[in-house]
Amino acid sequence: MAGFFKCMLRANTSLCGDLEGPMTKLIKGKLSISVEKGKVIAWIAGQDDIELSKANVQSVEVIDNNIQIGNLASGGGKQYKVNVYKIVMKDGKEGVLRLLTGAAYKVLAIIK
């Protein structure tokens, strides 16, 4: 039951972007990205969180900037401008990180 309330609180947090790829362990779909108490968290209901930090992120490389999308995880189908990055964890797992243009600097300052 605690997990349910945790996700309810997260649903009202500031969405910063999403994460997809092999590091998410999802067959399909994306993890939402939020900043909570100074930490960048990739999450989805029913799965363990992935914390993105300087301690566990090996590299973040820009793929593209200011891309208009309409399918951001937990975004409700609205149109967003995002910057797209390839993220590599220190354990070798990779993913694609899409950050809202306005939130990218804040998130990258925490994880790089």
Q: Which residues pair with 85 in a beta bridge?
A: 62, 97
Q: What is the pLDDT of residues 29-48, one digit of tens each?
A: 899 999 888 899 999 888 88
Q: Enter the tokens of residue 97.
A: 């990180």
Indicate which CATH number applies to the domain containing 31. 2.30.29.30
Burial of 7 (0-12, 13-18, 19+ CB in 10 A): middle
Q: How many domains does the chain have?
A: 1
Angle CA(28)–CA(83)–CA(72) in degrees, nearest 5?
35
pLDDT tens for the chain, 112 residues: list them. Answer: 445 445 555 555 677 899 999 999 888 889 999 988 889 999 988 888 999 999 999 999 999 999 998 877 766 678 889 999 999 999 999 999 999 998 999 999 999 8
Domain residues for the domain of 10 are 2-111
